[in-house]
Amino acid sequence: MNDLHITEEQVKSLYETRFIKVFDLQYAEGKHYYDATRRNKEDLVAIKSEEEFKNMLPDAVTCIVVLKTPGEEPRLLMSYEYRYPTGHYLLSPPAGLIDPEDREADQPQVVTAKREILEETGITVKDTDRVYTVNPCLFSTPGMTDESNALVAAVVDVPDLSILKQTGAVGSERFDGFALLTEADARAVLKNGRDSNGHYYSVYTWAALLYFTAGLWKE
């Protein structure tokens, strides 16, 4: 049982902007826990009921994109995306926030994934391609934020790799090329804990690498 359930009355706003908010979760008298979030107060995960928690949509979607080209070994598609808090371009899978209109779709995670793949890679996912949810909601670092991502896999047939492009970046997004990893390449990155530039990467990159090298996308 959750004996620390927090009500909306126990939540105090400390800082709010369009893109990020900080709330004080006053879980007991004189006790405070701070939550950095994209969500509005009424949609905080901490105050959701058991049923709401079990059925919540994540904030964003991370895509595990496997490309199959004629006569070539399947490859995991990654990008080098600039991550402002680290000050570097990091090896990253395509990803993006679930838009309000996506939430009304039958499969919000899949709809978001298709859009983000198109924007960040130039690839249009076809009806004949396999696109499915691997995990509907994973929390990033719940010790400081309620932010969450779904994992969606897309196994896409493409005629060649010349269709790849990064001209669809929006807002603060900045890219510096693609990484097309064979299974052996992905295993090396997993084993080293760094990309080919010697840089660390996010846990969602690690999840995509692991899913690909485990061959789960083939099932």
DSSP state of 195: -
Q: Are residues 108 and 143 in the same domain?
A: yes
Q: Are residues 203 and 103 in the same domain?
A: yes
Placement of tokens 């009355």 in the chain: 9
DSSP state of 100: G
Q: Are residues 85 and 183 in the same domain?
A: yes
Note the pTM of the prediction, 2 decimals: 0.94
Q: Is 92 a member of any domain?
A: yes
Q: 34-74: per-residue pLDDT in tens? A: 999 999 999 999 999 999 999 999 999 999 999 999 999 99
160 within 8 A of 110, measured Cβ to Cβ:
no
**Taking residues 105-120, what's their average pLDDT?**
97
Q: What's the CA gap between 170 and 174, in Å, rounded?
A: 8
Q: Are residues 110 and 198 in the same domain?
A: yes
Q: Are residues 23 and 120 in the same domain?
A: no
Helix (H, G, I), strand (E, B) or coil at 70: coil
Distances (CA, A) of 87 to 44, 60, 81, 150, 174: 29, 22, 11, 25, 12
Q: 81-111: per-residue pLDDT in tens? A: 999 999 999 999 999 999 999 999 999 999 9
Instruction: Specify the pLDDT at position 1.
Output: 52
Q: Which domain holds residue 193?
A: 60-218
Number of domains the chain is built from: 2
pLDDT bin (cut points 50, 70, 90) of residue 170 is confident
